[in-house]
């Protein structure tokens, strides 16, 4: 693969996950606090993706969670067919129970979080902590597999030591336990994205299993996508932070969508309007401020624009700031200012 056209053809090649097909191999990675329903709606309006993932939901909470109240375990009915709900938890029974609810609600599938290295999650034995207790991680996959017939996916990272053999063995064990696809993020816990991911291990995992593997980590430019596919042979691409910076990136890589100079202004305003539609003003402001650093990472004067944008306590204030700062398109960078990719 060498060109944007090659990347586009690859992304638009259908992929089978379990007993279901998706028309496109580019997916939104799960991101707590960012990949919520209003953001997913914004991405859906641009299109060009195969699947969208929710942020991680607590398996303990999911069986009784009220989607009308929850900010995390909530969705639009029309997105269910292309949305995967991610859960975290430490024991097979609660993960299986949560998976059953997710299947009953009609999601495309369920994703198991074996990658989060945040202390609060690992302390409970969940997320990446499960890579310290591999048998338990595999038991969780088996229990979830037995509980549901929808696609079961696993997102995991290299482990707690830089040992590609461990990552490969885990991928094979997850496949054997019934996982239908893997998303692999080649970083060692507890590194939270400061060092470069080692893409070579994505290739090793991909070659070692027969189920699809989505490569994840530092996909910023289309050239990165081309390089990840050509050097690893992965079956799909999973994008996190760059999708927040450019919610049209799926449409751009997959459909050749060409953003005009006003894209930053119109997209940020649409995000603001969607947040206002879903949430009360105070909460919408809070959510907008979480997304803003990624979005501002596109600009040459990112820090200064971000600082000015954040000076608002209401969504009307945010909208006024957006009009003032972005209606004359600011100078952009060819690659994002990753200092803002918190
Ligand atoms: C704010 C934030 C929240 C995240 N939350 C989750 C999560 O809930 N579950 C998960 O598996 N990964 C989570 N991640 C990790 C991403 O899915 C992804 O692996 C990581 O950002 C690297 O991909 P990227 O370079 O494309 O951003 C999160 C990342 C960020 C930046």
Q: Which fold has domain 4-255?
A: TIM Barrel (3.20.20)
Work out the mean pLDDT of the chain and round it to a whole number. 97
Residue percentage of the chain with pLDDT more than 90: 96
Distance CA 222, CA 98 (A): 36
Direct distance between the N- and C-terminal alpha carbons of the chain, in angstroms, rounded to an integer = 31
Instruction: Report how far ligand 1's centroid is from the alpha carbon of 313 (Å).
Output: 27
Which atom of ligand 1 is nearest the CA belonging to 239? 26
SS3 content of the chain, % helix, strand, coil (to 5): 50, 15, 35
Instruction: Report how far ligand 1's centroid is from the alpha carbon of 238 (Å).
Output: 10
Q: Who has greater pLDDT, 132 or 196?
A: 132
Q: What is the model's pTM?
A: 0.97
DSSP conformational letter for 227 = H
Residue 255 has pLDDT above 90, yes or no: yes
Distance CA 105, CA 51 (A): 17
Q: Which of 82, 115, 28 is nearest to 294 (CA)?
A: 28
Q: Is 116 tagged catalytic? A: yes
SS3 assignment, position 54: coil
- Residue range 230-238: average pLDDT? 98
In sequence order, which residues have a C-beta less than 8 Å from that of residue 242 and are 6 or more positions away? 219, 220, 249, 336
pLDDT score, position 330? 96
- Residue range 62-76: average pLDDT? 96
Confidence of residue 341 (pLDDT cuts 50, 70, 90): confident
pLDDT score, position 342? 73
Confidence of residue 212 (pLDDT cuts 50, 70, 90): very high
- Residue range 171-193: average pLDDT? 94
Distance CA 126, CA 122 (A): 5
The reply to whether ligand 1 has any atom less than 6 angstroms from the CB of 218 is yes
DSSP conformational letter for 337 = -
Residue 177 has pLDDT above 90, yes or no: yes
The reply to whether ligand 1 has any atom less than 6 angstroms from the CB of 241 is yes
- Residue range 41-63: average pLDDT? 98
Residue 85 has pLDDT above 90, yes or no: yes
């Amino acid at each position: 693969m060498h060109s944007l056209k090659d990347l586009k053809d690859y992304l638009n090649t259908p992929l089978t996950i379990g007993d279901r097909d998706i028309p496109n191999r580019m997916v939104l990675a799960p991101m707590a606090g960012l990949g919520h329903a209003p953001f997913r709606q914004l991405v859906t309006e641009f299109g060009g993706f195969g699947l969208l993932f929710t942020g991680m939901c607590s398996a303990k909470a999911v069986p009784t969670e009220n989607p009308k109240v929850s900010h995390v375990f909530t969705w639009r009915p029309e997105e269910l067919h292309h949305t995967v709900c991610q859960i975290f938890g430490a024991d097979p029974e609660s993960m299986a129970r949560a998976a059953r609810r997710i299947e009953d609600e009609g999601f495309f599938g369920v994703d198991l979080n074996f990658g989060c290295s945040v202390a609060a999650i690992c302390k409970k034995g969940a997320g990446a902590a499960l890579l310290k207790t591999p048998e338990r991680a595999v038991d969780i996959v088996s229990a979830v597999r037995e509980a549901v017939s929808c696609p079961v996916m696993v997102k995991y990272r290299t482990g707690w030591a830089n040992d590609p053999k461990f990552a490969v063995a885990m991928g094979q064990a997850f496949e054997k336990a019934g996982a239908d696809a893997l998303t692999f993020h080649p970083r060692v816990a507890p590194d939270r994205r400061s060092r470069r991911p080692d893409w070579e291990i994505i290739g090793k995992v991909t070659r070692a299993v027969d189920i699809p593997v989505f490569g994840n980590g530092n996909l910023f430019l289309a050239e990165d996508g081309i390089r990840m596919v050509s050097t690893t042979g992965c079956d799909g691409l999973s994008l996190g932070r760059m999708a927040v910076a450019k919610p049209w990136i799926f449409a751009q890589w997959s459909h050749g969508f060409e953003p005009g100079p006003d894209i930053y202004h119109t997209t940020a305003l649409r995000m603001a309007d969607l947040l206002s539609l879903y949430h009360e003003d105070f909460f919408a402001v809070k959510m907008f401020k979480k997304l803003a650093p990624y979005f501002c990472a596109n600009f040459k004067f990112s820090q200064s624009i971000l600082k000015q944008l954040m000076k608002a306590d209401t969504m009307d204030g945010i909208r006024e700031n957006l009009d003032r700062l972005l209606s004359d398109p600011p100078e952009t960078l060819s690659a994002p200012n990753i200092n803002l990719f918190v």
